[in-house]
Structure 1
Amino acid sequence: MILGDPIGEGNTAIIYLYENRIVKVFKDHLPDTESAYEANKQRIAYACGLPVPKVLDVRKIDGKQAIIMEYIEGKTLGELFFKDLERAEHYISKSIDIQLKIHLIHLKSLEFMSEKLLRELENSPHLDKSHKEVLIKKLHSIAYEKRLCHGDFHLLNLIMSDDKVTIIDWVDASAGDIRADVCRTYLLYADLSLEVAELYLRLYCEKSGLLKEEILQWLPILAGARLTKNVPSEIAEGLLEIVNTYCMGDLGGKNDYE
């Protein structure tokens, strides 16, 4: 299979368009189970009736793991957002309607969010022992229903085709707390613009009935877990500041995330 030039690249994979199908070829540093792991999550989301590209095959291509899936033609809501910032609220509102549909699904067949976050916190090279202990204690203290969470939900993972929106990139999906999923999106948008992040959070709360405080209780946990990712140094500094603020408050009194 001669794939030609890639149409995109991320931290974990290179994306190709081949014979009207998407071929996602994983990089060598990942475990051998990565393609099957991600494909299974995408298949579960598809089976739930969500608009998700259908997985067609999982195989090796030139010795590398790959997923072959349905090609969805269109532009991401992120591309549309940046081309027409005056309609920012429209695109974010549209994305929230989709996220709310994801969050309606009760699910236990995926990895539990708490297990995933615990692993990430324990393995974070940026957190010292006391930080990990405080964040893990906080993680274990939060009760929630296990619902489908995308884990990396933002405008660039939503493809607009005519009037239909398709949700891509399910590798971080889990059965977890929808409030954490919203907080994760808020944290990602804050990298771009705090104004955009606050707009998203306000609209989600208005549409869902959840309180801002319920969602932001997850902020220090998610900031700490995200430090296991390959993030730019300036973003890592901001994440550490969130963790430090919470941990100092927890050890010495009330903090800003309660």
Structure 2
Amino acid sequence: MKLTNPELIVKRSYKEVYKDGDKIVKIFEKDHPKSAVFNEALNTVRVEEAGLDIPKLDEVTQIDEKWALVIECQAGETLETVMEKDPDNLEKYMAEFVDLQLQIHEKTAPMLTKLKDKLAKQINQLKELDATQRYELLVRLESMPKHTKVCHGDFNPSNVIVGEDGKLTVVDWAHVTQGNASADAALTYLQFALKNRVAAEMYLTMFCKKSDTAKQYVQQWFPIVAAAQLEKNNELEKDFLMKWIDVMDYQ
């Protein structure tokens, strides 16, 4: 396959993402595991089959000897951009954002990776934490209830597209799992808190009210998901995440 009129929209160490006509094309570096590419493709299809209205996977292919995913392009702006342009209506947008996340959590997809298994693997691989810290986190993780809800795994306003008609569409399902919705919410909270603590608190309050969940229950997940995020090795976020891992006294 060849790109016809590519526009680079995302660049990471392991991939480049292009808009090419009515398609989104993710091109992964040659050293990126082939299994990871096919796993993302498979997970995207499993989310489709769960009944969620998401951009469809069209093709798994190779471009310049690199593996690539071709996905339908959802026209519009990210919800993050909309929120920044219209801060006076943040509460309205946040309500829509939470409603969308709760719609995802209503779905199940039994073939998805279990979130608790993924988190345990990430924590076990961490070099930044000593054996005692890893043990305490793993004990806490094991004590948390096992659920089977679809969890996006990277649910933040930059992964929600607002169409011209106002319809919200969730994109980028690379990290989707099945598990506890409050763990998914804890990660969303931390992503907000990294940039805007006021928005983070608004999100958490709204999520807990709409889902009838105690804040303390979501907070119990903070150290676990913060530790798992260290695996991404982003130095800009490391100090922020370590502070949350150190907060082990949520009850």
TM-score range, shorter chain: over 0.9
1:45, distance to aligned residue in structure 2 (A): 1.1
Q: Deviations over 1:44-81 (max 9, x none)?
A: 11112212110000011111110001111100111100
Aligned to 2:46: 44
Whether the 8 Å contact between 1:13 and 1:25 is mirrored in structure 2 is yes
1:146, distance to aligned residue in structure 2 (A): 1.2
1:143, distance to aligned residue in structure 2 (A): 1.4
Aligned to 2:211: 208
User: 102-111 or 212-221, which moves further after superposition?
Assistant: 102-111
Aligned to 1:61: 63
Q: Share of identical aligned residues, percent?
A: 31
Q: RMSD of the alignment, in Å?
A: 1.4
1:147 to 149, 156, 180: 149
Q: Deviations over 1:139-174 (max 9, x none)?
A: 111113211000000111000111211111111110
2:30 to 12, 17, 28: 28
Please, what TM-score do these two structures have when normalized by structure 1? 0.92
Q: Deviations over 1:15-68 (max 9, x none)?
A: 112232111111234211122111111111111221211000001111111000
Supply the distance in 2 between the matched residues of 1:116 and 1:245 (Cα, whole angstroms): 22
1:5, distance to aligned residue in structure 2 (A): 4.1
1:109, distance to aligned residue in structure 2 (A): 1.1
1:11, distance to aligned residue in structure 2 (A): 4.5
Please, what TM-score do these two structures have when normalized by structure 2? 0.94
SS, match of residue 247 in structure 2: helix
List gaps (5 residues or longer) in structure 2.
none
Aligned to 1:187: 190
Supply the distance in 2 between the matched residues of 1:243 and 1:32 (Cα, whole angstroms): 32
What letter corresponds to residue 131 of structure 2 in structure 1?
K
2:179 to 170, 176, 192: 176
Supply the distance in 1 between the matched residues of 2:187 and 2:137 (Cα, whole angstroms): 16
Aligned to 1:15: 17
Whether the 8 Å contact between 1:183 and 1:218 is mirrored in structure 2 is yes
What letter corresponds to residue 230 of structure 2 in structure 1?
L
Task: Figure out how many residues of one structure are paired with residues of the other and give that number.
Answer: 248
List gaps (5 residues or longer) in structure 1.
247-254
Whether the 8 Å contact between 1:7 and 1:15 is mirrored in structure 2 is yes
1:117, distance to aligned residue in structure 2 (A): 0.4
Residue 97 (1) aligns with residue 99 (2): yes
Residue 217 (1) aligns with residue 224 (2): no
